[in-house]
Amino acid sequence: MNTLELVTLEEERAVQAFLLREARLLDEDRWDDWLLMVSERIHYWMPGIENRRREDARGGFNAEHMALFDDGYRELQRRVARFKQPSAWAEDPPTRNVHLISNIEVYAGENPGEYRAFSCFVNVRSRGLDEQYQIAGRREDVLCREGDGLKLLSRRILIPNATLPCKNINTFL
Amino acid sequence: MMDKPTTTLKAIESTPPLADLDRICDMQEGRMAGKIFWDSEIYEQELEKIFARCWLFVAHESQIPEPGDYVATTLGEDEVLVVRQKDRSIKVLINACPHRGNKVCFAEAGNARGFICNYHGWAFGPDGALRGMHESGVYEQSGFDKSRQGLREARVDSYKGLVFATFAADAPSLADYLGPMTWYLDVILDNDEGGTEFIGGCIRSTYECNWKIAAENFVGDILHAGWTHDSAAQAMLGGSVTKVSELPESYQVNWNGHGYEFARDLVGNAAVLGESAINKYLHLHSPKAAERLGEFRARMLGAVSSFTVFPNFSFLPGQNTVRVWQPRGPNKIELYTWVIVNRNAPAEVKEKWRRGAMMTFSPTGVFEMDDGENWEYCTKTSRGKVTRYQDLYVGLGMNSRLSDTELPGNVFRGQLNEANARAYYQRWKDLLQARTWAEVPDRNGKLD
Ligand code: FES
Ligand SMILES: [Fe+2]
């Protein structure tokens, strides 16, 4: 889509509220409630960032290359299932999360009832007494109306790091 | 490919071995000290006597198919470029300019007609030769000899698609270095006439752990899987990890520190990806693989298994994740992860592996998450002055060696065993003790 078409203030407010609520649910470890905000048709994608030269036509990321997330609903369910296992040793004591969401822009989506939303995030995680990891990035989402509410239909997450500065991403972004 | 000795590398002086190596590591007793994961003097010795000396994995040939294609990586902490040449051979060049040492290539991969240094404009061909520079006239006036100022080269050789390099002029050939372990590597590299390829891209992440704890995990620690990875298995399969002690047949095999541990259950590793298309492919492909590898190895394709080529190149058959544990100090690594597939596998099966490997063994992988914390804290607890000198137990499976077997290498009964870990650390110690390759002892056939 080439043109960005503004939406009404109410619609914009609804999308913003969606994105902020989502962040809060993740910070509260309410993964099942978070999944309810996700469409079963979801494509949740976070490509690996490649440090290539400007003239390289392959660009800084690629749909066929390796990714940190390249998930459908089943994969997201599986990740949530692990978080909830009593034997997820590396989640107990729990990881403590803050998801900061900003730079929200909301436009009309390609299909009626869909929205295109851009946002930035900073995710700060702490584990144990002193571990702290910070990942920032940009997201491009498509939200759709399903049933009586909005759902996340697709998300593309881009971080600036070609090497992840930490050992894992044990949350959703 | 030719195994061409280094011409332009200056040898580094060999330093004396550490005085307390026996205290740090005694594999006859099956014990080592926590210090092995923490100490910076040990790490300096490792950079010199292991990483500047051993054959290290640098690339899969499929990553650089065309002349001028390159990928950047490191040999230990030395940055190198792996470059496909016009004649299709491969060179490994130190990614540091011979003028003041600036990095000459900042991209991780690409295709280049050459590399031009950003600082004073020295321009190198893809073969590393210095071709010219900014203000070349002034160099000519001072009698400058361009032919002596190319990018330094490491020795290169490859085995069935895997490219290795070493800085050591006196190192054995790659074939001798890998020895009989190639028989096991072929399970992955040669089960199909088309050979293998890497899926595009490399995922890099950072762990605050010692490189050996990760390499050791893949050399022969399936023991941890049933416990550490219970949550991931529950999530992916709705049940526990295969109980390894109940598998009818399993082994640890090693040779000069390399180790493969495996069962013959065909799909035990692959199954955790939770993709029926992959299980189906392995079942259908196994009889074809048997024509190349024989019945025995055809049952290993995606079995419960893992492998480390000494010192830091590992993979998991079945999940098809390939990784290098890049040392970045005594208690830090960068993990480079790729996915390997059979070149002739159907596109949809390759795609399942691309996603499945990342879903399980990558920084977001549900299995890897529980590994990371273990490795970081095995490392960090050793920082205590007292802990550093306490013994760590590496004694499982003493006296489990099989002598009545045709299998290549040193063969041990049962995967739930620390035989490979002992052989790995013994090799580590032998290398740290030896001043030259000629001094490294041959322990094959003599391990308990
Ligand atoms: S440092 Fe490379 S040209 Fe001077
Ligand atoms: Fe593991």
Is there a catalytic annotation at residue B258?
no
d(CA B333, CA B7): 30
Ligand 1 atom closest to the Cα of residue B104 is 2
Instruction: Quick: pLDDT tens for A93-112.
Output: 999 999 999 999 999 999 99
- Give the Cα separation of A163 and A132 in Å (integer): 17
Residue B445 confidence (pLDDT) above 90: no
Residue B12 forms part of a structural domain: no
Considering only CA atoms, give the Rg of chain A: 17
- Residue B208 sits in a domain whose CATH number is 3.90.380.10
Are B151 and B94 in contact, with CB atoms under 8 Å apart? yes
Q: How distant is the Cα of B243 from the closest Cα of chain A, in angstroms?
A: 16
pLDDT of residue B6: 45
d(CA B423, CA B89): 34
- Bin B409: left if φ > 0, else alpha if -120 < ψ < 50, else beta: left
For residue B336, tell me if it sits in a domain: yes
Residues B395 and B344 in one domain: yes
H-helix segments, chain A: 9-27, 31-35, 73-84
> What residues of chain A lie within 8 A of the CB of B203, using their CB?
48, 66, 68, 164
Q: Are residues B142 and B218 in the same domain?
A: no
* Residue B322: both structure tokens together: 């390939």
List the catalytic residue out of B26, B60, B69, B229: B229
Whole-model pTM over 0.90: yes
B430 and B291 part of one domain: yes
Of A48, A90, A166, the CB nearest to B201: A48
State yes or no: pLDDT of A130 exceeds 80. Answer: yes
Mean of the pLDDT values across residues B345-366?
97
What are the residues of chain B with a beta carbon less than 8 Å away from any beta carbon of chain A? 106-111, 199-208, 228, 230-232, 234-236, 274, 334, 337-339, 354-355, 358-359, 362-364, 366, 368-370, 372-374, 376
User: Which of B211, B164, B159 minimizes the C-alpha distance to B184?
Assistant: B159
How far apart, in whole angstroms, are the C-alpha atoms of residue B113 and residue B12? 31
Question: CA geometry: angle at A146 spanning A113 and A109, to 5°?
Answer: 25
pLDDT digits over B66-91, tens only? Answer: 999 999 999 999 999 999 999 999 99
pLDDT tens for A48-83 read 999 999 999 999 999 999 999 999 999 999 999 999
Does one domain contain both B298 and B433?
yes
Report yes or no: B425 and B24 within 8 Å, Cβ to Cβ. Answer: no
| Res. B2 pLDDT band, cuts 50 70 90 | very low
pLDDT at position B241: 80
**Residue A2 pLDDT:** 64
Q: How far is the CA of B152 from the centre of ligand 1 (A)?
A: 14
Same domain, B195 and B140: no
Q: In this complex, do B206 and A163 lie within 8 Å of one another by their Cβ atoms? A: yes
Give dist(CA B232, CA B226) in Å, integer: 10
Q: Are B357 and B320 in contact (CB under 8 A)?
A: yes
Percent of chain A at pLDDT exceeding 90: 97
- Note whether residue B37 is domain-resident: no
Helix (H, G, I), strand (E, B) or coil at A144: strand
> CB–CB of B360/B273 below 8 Å?
yes
Is B120 considered catalytic here? Answer: yes
Distance CA B403, CA B13 (A): 41
- DSSP character string of A83-132: HH-TT-GGGSSPPEEEEEEEEEEEEE-SSTTEEEEEEEEEEEEEETTTEE
Sign of CA dihedral B174, B178, B179, B183: negative
Position B166 in a domain: no
Same domain, B357 and B319: yes
Q: Could you give the number of structural domains in chain B?
A: 2
Domain shared by B258 and B377, yes or no: yes
pLDDT band at B10 (very low <50, low <70, confident <90, very high): confident
Instruction: Write the CA distances from B300 to B216, B306, B343, B346, integer angstroms.
Output: 20, 11, 19, 20
Query: Has B229 been annotated as catalytic?
Result: yes
- A167 is written with which tokens? 């050992």
Asked whether the predicted pLDDT for residue B240 surpasses 90, the reply is: no
B92 shares its domain with B234:
no
Phi, psi of A112 (to 5 degrees): -55, 140
- Which phi and psi (to 5°) does residue A63 adopt? -65, -25
- Reply yes or no on domain A9-158 having CATH 3.10.450.50: yes
A162 — pLDDT class (breaks 50, 70, 90): very high
Residue B213 maps to a domain: yes
Asked if residues B326 and B336 have their Cβ atoms less than 8 Å apart, the reply is yes
How many separate helices (H) and strands (E) can be counted in chain B?
12, 22
In the predicted structure, residue B401 carries a pLDDT above the cut 80: yes
State the pLDDT at residue B342.
98
Specify if B39 maps to a domain: no
Q: Do A168 and B369 touch (CB under 8 A)?
A: yes
Cross-chain Cβ contact A79/B236 below 8 Å? no
Confidence of residue B9 (pLDDT cuts 50, 70, 90): confident
Cβ pair B244, B213 in contact under 8 A: no
Min distance A113 CA to chain B CA atoms (Å): 30
Query: Euclidean distance between the first and final Cα of chain B, in Å?
Result: 37
Token pair in block for residue B38:
């923490």
Distance from CA of B337 to the nearest CA of A (A): 9
Mean local confidence (pLDDT), B342-356: 98
**Within this chain, do residues B151 and B276 fall inside the same structural domain, yes or no?**
no
Element of type H or E holding B371: helix B368-380
Indicate whether B226 and B148 sit together in one domain. Answer: no
Q: Answer whether B228's CB lies under 8 Å from B370's CB.
A: yes
Q: Are residues B141 and B192 in the same domain?
A: no
Tokens of B305: 């298994």
> Does B139 share its domain with B273?
no
Question: How many Cβ contacts (< 8 angstroms) between chains A and B?
Answer: 127
| B362: containing domain | 180-439
Helix (H, G, I), strand (E, B) or coil at B141: helix
CATH number at residue B82: 2.102.10.10
Shortest Cα–Cα distance, B442 to chain A (Å): 37
- Does ipTM top 0.90? yes
B40 inside domain: no
Q: Which ligand is nearest the CA of B228, by number?
A: 2
Closest ligand to Cα B367: 2
CA angle B393, B395, B396 (to 5 degrees): 115
At residue B5, does pLDDT exceed 50? Answer: no
Kindly state whether residue B75 falls inside one of the protein's structural domains: yes
Residues with CB under 6 A from ligand 1: B 97, 99-100, 102, 117, 119-122
B127 is catalytic: no
| Mutation target among B203, B208, B276, B353 for the A interface, most CBs of A within 10 A | B203
Distance B123 CA to ligand 1 centre (A): 9
Does B364 contact A168 at a Cβ distance shorter than 8 Å?
Answer: yes
Of B358, B354, B320, B316, nearest in space to B340 by CA: B320
Return the number of other C-beta atoms located less than 10 Å from residue B198's C-beta.
Answer: 20
pLDDT over 60 at B29, yes or no: yes
Round the average pLDDT of chain A to a whole number and report it. Answer: 97
Q: Is the pLDDT of residue B4 over 60?
A: no
- Mean pLDDT of all residues in B214-232: 96
